[in-house]
Amino acid sequence: MPILKIDAVIFDMDGVITDTMPYHYRAWKKVYAGEGLLVEECEVYLREGQPGHRMIRQIFREHGKVFHEGLAKRMLEQKERIFKRIVRPVFVPGARAFLRHLRGKNIRTALVTGTARHEVHKILQGDFLDRFDAIVTGDEVKHGKPNPEPFLTALKKLKIRPDEAVVVENAPFGIFSAKKARLKCIALETYLDRAYLKDADYIVSSFRDLRKRLDFETLKTRGR
């Protein structure tokens, strides 16, 4: 079994820690339907992590619809209202146990998400966020995924190099962002088939599968 010697594991949130992408899709589906568009799950899941206005622009162009920024702003606001009303804080199976496993090995953790910080606090309630040594939210960066800025910001907060961490993602834009930041990436097959996750260093079907296929060891050089 390969052993990854690292200082930290950096997690995406939607589809990695929380099983919230189906709620995002339901909200987007309703908003797009109001504009006369029928969007499939895959169209939304493939763009996970991307800023919402870019997603809208791309989907409109692919469907031959006219796009403008005012429309995107209105659709985003509507989507967020629907999402807040329907979302339930459900965790991806094995996520919390894996966080405890890493903590037991003295490996730090970080959360990198395109969601705004105030929304993150609503979804991950209580003291759960205290389990992360660093958190980067969508409103703290200028460029979201697939730009590497979110993960580079996490590395800066953790005060480590790219070779001292690994990312857990579940979508192409997140994987691309991690690789551009020169990080190794583990992809979870939460919503997408592994064919869409092929650029990751490792692809696993679940956290249980991850525990079977990879082991983790903390770096000794930091002297914590």
- What CA–CA distance (Å, rounded) separates 167 from 34? 36
Structure tokens at 25: 């899709």
Structure tokens at 217: 């060891």
Q: Which of 12, 14, 19, 209 is catalytic?
A: 12
Predicted pLDDT of residue 220? 63
CATH H-level superfamily of 21-86? Putative phosphatase; domain 2 (1.10.150.240)
- What CA–CA distance (Å, rounded) separates 90 from 190? 13
Please provide the CATH number assigned to the domain covering 3-19+89-218.
3.40.50.1000
Residue type, 118: H
User: pLDDT digit string (tens) for 192-209?
Assistant: 999 999 999 999 999 999
Predicted pLDDT of residue 223? 44
Predicted pLDDT of residue 185? 98
Residue type, 182: R
Question: What's the CA angle centered on 46, arms 44 and 48, to 5 degrees?
Answer: 70
Mapped onto helix, strand or coil, the DSSP state of residue 24 is: helix
Q: Report residues of the chain scoring pLDDT below 70.
A: 220-224
Predicted pLDDT of residue 2? 86
Report which DSSP code applies to 51. Answer: -
Predicted pLDDT of residue 141? 95
pTM strictly above 0.85: yes
The yes-or-no answer on residue 12 being catalytic is yes
The dihedrals phi and psi of 187, each to the nearest 5 degrees, come to -105, 130
Domain map (residue ranges) of the chain: 3-19+89-218, 21-86
Please, are residues 191 and 23 in contact by the beta-carbon 8 Å criterion? no
User: pLDDT digit string (tens) for 56-104?
Assistant: 999 999 999 888 889 999 999 999 999 999 998 899 999 999 999 999 9
Buried b (16+ CB within 10 A) or exposed e, 70-106: ebbeebbeebeebbeeebeeeebebbeebbebbeeee
